[in-house]
C-alpha cells in the first residue's frame, strides 16, 4: 500500500499533487487566491468600484501592517502574544491628541511625540512586567492574563483622563483628491505614504542592519542567540521601541483616516491585527506586512458583497479560516516537534 494515499492511479496522483501544491507553495497559492478574488469582483461589480475599494483597502492595510509588524516582532523575540498591543495603538492616538489638540502643536510634531511616548510605554512595560516574568519562567496562561490586565489598565487609564466622548485630531478630513474617477482623502493619502515609507524602512532595517539581523536571530532562537554573546537585553529593548513606536504611529494614522477616536479603537483593531499576523506567519515581519495589507484589502473588498457593518467580521473569518487550514500562515514554517 502506498504511503498513506487514499487514492491510486493517475487521477489519484494528479489530485494528490494538486492538493500538495498549495501546501508546498503557500505564498503563490495565496497570491493566486487574491488575484482570483480580484478578478471575480471586477467582473461582478465593475472595475471602478473595485478600484475605489482597493484604494480604501490600501489605506487601512497600511496601518494594519504597521500594527501587525509590531505585534509579530514582539511575539517573535519574546514569544509573547501581546493582547495589550491594540491599546498601544489607542495610546498613541490619544497622546497625539494631547500634543495636537490640547497643546496645539502641528500634527507632524504630535505624531512624532506619540511615537516616542508609546515607544517609552512599550519599554516600560517590558522593564516592569515582562522582564521579571521572563526571569520567573512564567507560563502561558500567566502571560496571557497579564497582557489582558495591562490592556485594561491602559485603556481605562486613558478613559479616566480623557473620558468617553469621541475625540478628533486637528487634521483636514474634508479635502480629497480625485483621479480617474476615484477619490482619496488628502490626509488618508499622507497616512498611506507615511505608513508605507515606514514599513519600507522597517523592512530595510531588519534585512540590512546589524540590529535587524540580531533581532531576527533572537526571534529564531532566543537561548541560542544569548549563548552567542548577543546582548539580548539591548535587542529586547530595541524590539519594544520598534513595536510600540510602530503601534503608536499606526494609532495616529488610524485615527487620521477614520476621523475620530474612542478608547476602544485599539482593541477593535487588535483582532484584525491578529488575523494579519497569523495569516502572514507569526514571528515573520514581512508576513505581517503582507498580512496587514491583505486583511485591509479583504475587508474593503467585502463591502462590495456585504453590508459595510460586517467588514470587521471578514477579518475574523479570515483569522479562523487560516487557523483551521494552515496555522503556520503563508510564510511560516510548518510546526516542528
Binding site for other proteins (CB under 8 A): 1, 3-4, 81, 129, 132-133, 137-146, 148-153, 155-157, 159-160, 163-164, 267, 271, 274, 278, 307, 309-310, 312-313, 316, 319-320, 323-324, 327, 333, 336-337
CB of 108 to other proteins, least distance (A): 30
Closest alpha carbon to 251 in 99, 25, 39:
99
Q: Please list the residues that pair with 177 across neighbouring strands.
A: 184
Nearer to other proteins, 282 or 293 (CB): 282
Phi, psi of 302 (to 5 degrees): -65, -20
Nearer to other proteins, 265 or 319 (CB): 319
Nearer to other proteins, 44 or 145 (CB): 145
CB of 145 to other proteins, least distance (A): 5
Question: Residue 151 and residue 157: Cα distance in Å, rounded?
Answer: 10
Question: Residue 247 and residue 64: Cα distance in Å, rounded?
Answer: 9
CB of 106 to other proteins, least distance (A): 30
CB of 66 to other proteins, least distance (A): 20
Nearer to other proteins, 144 or 217 (CB): 144
Coil, helix or strand for 125? helix
Nearer to other proteins, 84 or 192 (CB): 84
Nearer to other proteins, 102 or 209 (CB): 102
Contacts of 252 (CB under 8 A, 6+ apart): 92, 93, 96, 110, 111, 114, 115, 169
Q: Scan for cell 499576523, then name that residue.
A: 277
CB of 150 to other proteins, least distance (A): 6
CB of 85 to other proteins, least distance (A): 12
Q: How far is CA 182 from CA 52, 126, 205, 295, in A?
A: 6, 44, 34, 21
Amino acid at each position: 500500500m502506498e504511503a498513506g494515499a487514499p487514492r491510486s492511479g493517475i487521477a489519484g496522483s494528479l489530485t494528490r499533487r494538486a492538493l500538495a501544491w498549495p501546501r508546498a507553495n503557500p505564498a503563490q497559492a495565496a497570491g493566486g487566491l487574491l488575484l482570483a478574488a480580484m478578478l471575480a469582483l471586477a467582473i461582478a461589480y465593475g472595475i471602478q468600484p473595485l478600484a475605489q475599494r482597493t484604494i480604501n483597502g490600501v489605506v487601512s492595510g497600511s496601518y494594519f501592517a504597521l500594527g501587525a509588524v509590531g505585534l509579530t516582532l514582539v511575539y517573535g523575540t519574546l514569544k509573547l502574544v501581546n493582547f495589550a498591543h491594540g491599546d498601544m495603538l489607542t495610546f498613541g492616538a490619544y497622546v497625539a491628541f494631547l500634543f495636537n489638540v490640547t497643546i496645539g502643536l502641528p500634527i507632524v510634531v504630535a505624531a512624532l511625540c506619540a511615537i516616542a511616548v508609546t515607544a517609552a510605554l512599550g519599554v516600560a512595560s517590558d522593564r516592569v512586567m515582562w522582564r521579571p516574568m521572563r526571569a520567573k519562567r512564567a507560563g502561558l496562561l500567566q502571560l496571557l492574563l497579564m497582557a489582558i490586565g495591562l490592556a485594561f489598565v491602559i485603556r481605562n487609564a486613558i478613559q479616566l483622563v480623557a473620558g468617553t466622548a469621541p475625540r478628533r485630531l486637528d487634521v483636514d478630513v474634508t479635502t480629497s483628491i480625485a483621479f480617474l474617477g476615484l477619490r482619496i482623502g488628502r490626509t488618508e493619502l499622507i497616512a498611506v505614504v507615511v505608513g508605507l515609507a515606514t514599513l519600507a524602512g522597517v523592512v530595510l532595517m531588519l534585512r540590512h542592519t546589524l540590529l535587524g539581523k540580531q533581532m531576527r536571530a533572537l526571534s529564531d532562537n532566543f537561548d541560542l542567540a544569548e549563548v552567542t554573546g548577543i546582548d539580548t537585553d539591548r535587542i529586547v529593548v530595541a524590539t519594544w521601541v520598534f513595536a510600540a513606536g510602530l503601534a503608536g504611529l499606526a494609532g495616529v494614522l488610524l485615527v487620521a483616516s477614520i476621523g475620530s477616536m474612542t478608547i476602544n479603537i485599539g482593541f477593535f483593531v487588535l483582532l484584525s491585527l491578529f488575523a494579519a499576523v497569523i495569516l502572514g506567519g507569526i514571528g515573520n515581519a514581512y508576513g505581517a506586512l503582507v498580512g496587514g495589507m491583505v486583511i485591509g484589502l479583504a475587508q474593503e473588498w467585502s463591502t462590495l458583497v456585504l453590508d459595510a457593518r460586517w467588514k470587521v467580521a471578514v477579518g475574523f473569518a479570515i483569522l479562523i479560516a487560516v487557523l483551521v487550514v494552515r496555522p503556520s500562515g503563508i510564510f511560516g514554517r510548518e510546526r516542528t516537534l
